[in-house]
Amino acid sequence: MPLAYHTLNVFTQHRFSGNPLAVVLDADALETVRMQAIAREFNLPETAFILKPTSPTHSAHVRIFTPTAEVPFAGHPTIGVATLLADLKMGSMGGNHDALILLEQQIGIVRVGVRLRQGQAAFAEFDAPRLPEASGALAPVEQIGAALGLTSSEIGFANHRPVRFSAGTTFAFVPVSTRAAIARAEVRRPAWDAAFGGQGLVGAYLYCKECVHNTGSFHARMFAPDMGIPEDPATGSAAVSFAGVIRAFDDLPDGVHRRVIEQGYEMGRPSEVSLALEVTQGRLHNVRIGGASVRVAEGVLLD
């Protein structure tokens, strides 16, 4: 049976920037191997498949695939799917609307607030389904630098050092001294395999505090070649874990702290990820990720 699909750009207010996403509707009859084949055919960072929810109080059951593997949770599919479902339901009504979308993912139920405003890109924000935790040690700095085409002196700034954090998916977080150094970074095999391979990592998330815009808090790049993603324009799931990195290295008092992460600039796909950290009694209490999303195209997958 032919299946309708939509493509969106997420973490941006403009088409042809941000992180591209494909969403396939009414995918209940598809087997896992077929979903993976479709994701490989789209060859986008992620493809989401919408199935009927197991509970009538939920909006949808969602399965998410990179070109090479299924993942239990991802940020830009969460934002894109929620804005698409809200728009398909209420967009034709005109006017301004707010919606709460409950998505069943492998990681659990993800609550997403969606804001639809006439003449503006849809905006969505979700509470992280799992708080970030440190998840072990990384390779020595010399190996990390070799894997990324950087010198060891370009790894780290202030008290920030490379760490592993996980919030359902695990990333290596690599602080880089300057934006010029981040711009030169690249995946170098076989050094990449020695530094990051076989450790259950989605990829390496590089960041610095030098930004393109004065509204930015961090400038980032994310490489995930083992997941079929040479570089990701915007990584919401990594931003969730990055909240743990910020909390570990920056002195944050109790309260809500908002940060803006720039990503995708080196790819020509500028993206903006909104991150809010809530600290209570010295502990990270909640993490919220937000971003805009625009619809780009729609079509039909033939039988």
3-state secondary structure of 268: coil
- Residue 118 has, within 13 A of its CA and on its CB side, a CA count of 5
Distances (CA, A) of 21 to 36, 47, 77, 186, 192: 14, 6, 7, 23, 27
Can you tell me the distance from the alpha carbon of 261 to that of 278, in angstroms, rounded to the nearest whole number?
Answer: 17
- What kind and span of H or E run contains 117? none
Smallest CA-to-CA distance from 277 within 265, 288, 293 is with 288
CB-CB contact of 81 with 60 (8 Å): yes
Q: State the Cα torsion 283-137-219-105 to the nearest 10°.
A: -70
Smallest CA-to-CA distance from 47 within 34, 57, 38, 55 is with 38
Which residues form the catalytic set?
Answer: 46
Can you tell me the distance from the alpha carbon of 141 to that of 13, in angstroms, rounded to the nearest whole number?
Answer: 37
Tell me the β-bridge partners of 32.
Answer: none
Position of tokens 């995930």?
224
